Chains A and B, each alone.
Chain A
Amino acid sequence: MPRYKIADVVFDAQFIYGYTERLCQKYLYQGDEAPRLLISATLDDIKAEKEKAPEYPDNYLESLAVFRKLCAYILDNADGLIFHSSAIMVDGKAYLFTAPSGTGKSTHARLWRELLGDRAVMVNDDKPIVRFVDGKFYVYGTPWNGKHGLDTNCRAEIKAVCKISQAKENSIRKATAGEMVFTVLNQTVRPENQSSMENLLGLIDKLLGSVDTYVLGCNVSKEAAELSYTTMSGERL
């Protein structure tokens, strides 16, 4: 049975399809840590995913079911949540761009890579996991990495979370924690049971109290990346 380590959680997994196994390959684990759980998606789990997203094939839906189970475990046992965002690491610090699908998070992260070259590492382009560990928030790469397949098996301390919208002119400002609450709640997977939901709300409260938050209106240009990078990092180019 393959063993993985994702978001610093070691687990064994049993897959029906080869797709999920291939997807998770980079996260195979051969160290000494004991597995904390066994994850497998049943046919019923896959059926439940199919109801939410009937257009996808079963092997892909299995991978979603596995991800859902991993995230549910992490939320209840490891202070972590999935945060739909494009997470990029520069000089060891992570920046998370969040927005509804199709707004341009991945595009903006690409502009950062073009601007910063090798200094910028994609942690995950779609579904990273965010965890609270020893008083700090970290973002972790996961194999669920979006349509461009960008992720790194690594973690980085989060410096800032940035909400993106499309705009003609580039502008950035600090967000209040309050205006980010709905953003985060809408870009995570919400559990259905009460105690997990309370864990999630508590984590979001801590996250928004710990990291810098920004609102960015941007077009697709080098200047947009320059503005967001210099403002959020406090560094000059």
Chain B
Amino acid sequence: MKIKDGFILSEVAGQTVVVAVGKMAKQFNGCIKLNPSSALLWKTLQKGATEEQLVETFMNEYDVQLEQAKEDVKEFVTNLEKAGFLE
């Protein structure tokens, strides 16, 4: 799975924010603030990744147990799916 085109992730005043451009801006005109771990998952998903790959990326960067990592990734992906940001 992959995050749809049309999002910009950027560092603004020390915050990682995501906004939409182009066609996506018509669908989503809000903005999202990401904490460092969600920013890592977001960036990985922009290139495309499976849930297993996300868990692996997450665990390489953060000191978490497998079960916790799986749970966090699942929650993140579910939220993106609900928002319609994934393809």
Contact = CB atoms under 8 A, between A and B. Distances in A.
Given A177-B15, A197-B19, 12 more contacts: A178-B14, A181-B15, A185-B17, A185-B31, A190-B19, A192-B21, A194-B8, A194-B21, A198-B8, A201-B17, A204-B13, A205-B11
**Interface size for chain B: under 10, 10 to 19, 20 to 34, or 35 or more residues?**
10 to 19
A209 interface: yes
Contacts of B33: 181-182
A180 interface: yes
B22 A181 contact: no
A208 interface: yes
A198 B8 CA distance: 8
B interface, by DSSP: helix, strand, loop or mixed?
A: strand
A84 to B, nearest CB: 15
Contacts, number: 50
A47 B12 CA distance: 34
19 contacts: A177-B13, A177-B14, A178-B13, A181-B12, A181-B15, A182-B31, A185-B17, A186-B31, A192-B21, A193-B22, A198-B8, A198-B10, A201-B8, A201-B10, A201-B17, A204-B12, A204-B13, A205-B12, A208-B12
Contacts of A177: 13-15
Interface in B1-23: 8, 10-15, 17, 19, 21-22
Contacts of B65: none
Interface of B: 8, 10-15, 17, 19, 21-22, 25, 29, 31, 33
Interface residues of A, number: 19
A193 B22 CA distance: 6
Given A190-B25, A192-B22, A194-B22, A181 B8 contact: no
A192 B6 CA distance: 10
Contacts of B21: 191-194, 197
A100 to B, nearest CB: 14
Contacts of B8: 194, 197-198, 201
Nearest to B14: A178
Nearest to A196: B21
A190 B17 contact: no
A197 B28 CA distance: 14
B19 A181 contact: no
Given A185-B31, A192-B25, A197-B8, A178 B15 contact: yes
